[in-house]
Structures are given as structure tokens and as C-alpha cells.
Amino acid sequence: MGRWKPDARGRLEQAAMELYNDKGFDATTVAEIAARAEVTERTFYRHFADKREVLFQPNALADVLAHATATAAGPLAPLEVIAHALTEAAPVFEERAELVRQRQAVIAANPELQERELAKLASLASTLADALRERGLEATTATLAAEIGIAAFKVAFERWTDGPGRHTLARQIRETMDDATTHLTAPAGDGPRPPSGPAS
């Protein structure tokens, strides 16, 4: 093992994603991650509390969403503000696209990690709702808009990770939010169907 190489945190993250996808999250040890990254286990624990934290480390996403919501210009509808904020946050993922897709594959294969991912999304919805309330929006409407926005983001994110190179995440977000505002407010089908039952 070499004495020192730069970007230990980045190499640990990349090594972990490779091992999680190759061996499975549960079967991978911290020692194996450290060895592949060519650092000691002590170095691993300087950067991450445990192997789960590699997947759920704090990032700037919540701050970006809060700031973009607060500074969205003009009199915009709540979902337009949310769409703007989510689009502004897209580069957080796009700058690390391959690593993000590897992370998503690991989470998709592990139900326990999926639960934690849902909790993280719920936290982001709370961040958006708080920011909307700061803009003067009524609390229930702010919460509803934020929940719809995060649900749309989840769909857009899955489309982006499942179809690399087809569209940017920002475009997927815009298109999914457009779908939400267009199709969810349009009449369903051709109107209500008559009740089923024996003919009279």
C-alpha cells in the first residue's frame, strides 16, 4: 500500500460503490473498501462513520433546494417554484452521474437501504415545505406542493438513472413536473363510467 495518494474520500467512495455492486452491500466489509482504495481502515473511519454512511453522506442538496426556493423570481405558482428548485439542484447529481447511478443500483437491491432513502426524500420534502412557507404560502398548501414535487423528482430521477445519456436530469425533472401539472388536472378517461350491475 502506498504511503499517500490524494482524494482519499473520493477513492473510498468509488471503491465502496464497486464492491457493493460486485459483492452486495451486506457482504462487503470496511476492510475490503479500505484495501481497494489503498488506505487504512482508520482513514475510512476518518471520513465515514460506517459503510452505510458512504451511501447517505451529507451533501449540499438541502441547502440548494432551500436557497433556490427562497430566491425563485416572480409571482410563481407553488409547483413552478418547486420545479425551479429541483432543476437548480440537478447539477448536484449530474456532476457525479456515474457514481450516483452506482449508488442507486446498490439501494435498489437492498430493502433496508430503500427505507433510509425514503426517509431522506421525506426530509427533502420538509425542506421544500419550510422554504415555501417562508415565501408566505399557507402551511397545508406548502406541504402538499413539496410532497408532489418530491414524488415527481423520484420519478424523474429513476428515469434519468435508468436511461443514461438520453436526457439530462434537469430535463427529466421539467418534463415530469409538466406531466404532473398537465395530466393530474385533466379529466380521467371519457368521464365517469356507469355503475356496473345486471341490466334492467
Tens digit of each residue's pLDDT, the chain (200 residues): 444 466 899 999 999 999 999 999 999 999 999 999 999 999 999 999 999 999 997 778 899 999 999 999 988 999 999 999 999 999 999 999 999 999 999 999 999 999 999 999 999 999 999 999 999 999 999 999 999 999 999 999 999 998 867 789 999 999 999 988 886 666 755 444 454 444 43
Domains annotated for the chain, with CATH where assigned, are 8-54 (1.10.10.60), 61-183 (1.10.357.10)
DSSP assignment, residue 52? G
How confident is the model at residue 5, as a pLDDT?
61
Burial 103-128 (b: 16+ CB within 10 A, else e): bbebbeebeebeeebeeebeebbebb
pTM of the model: 0.81
CA of residue 82 relative to chain centroid, distance: 14
Helix axis angle for 61-71 and 78-94, nearest 10°, is 140
DSSP assignment, residue 99? H
CA–CA distance, 33 with 55 (Å, rounded to integer): 13
How confident is the model at residue 186, as a pLDDT?
62
| Element of type H or E holding 12 | helix 8-23
How confident is the model at residue 199, as a pLDDT?
42
How confident is the model at residue 11, as a pLDDT?
95
CA–CA distance, 29 with 81 (Å, rounded to integer): 43
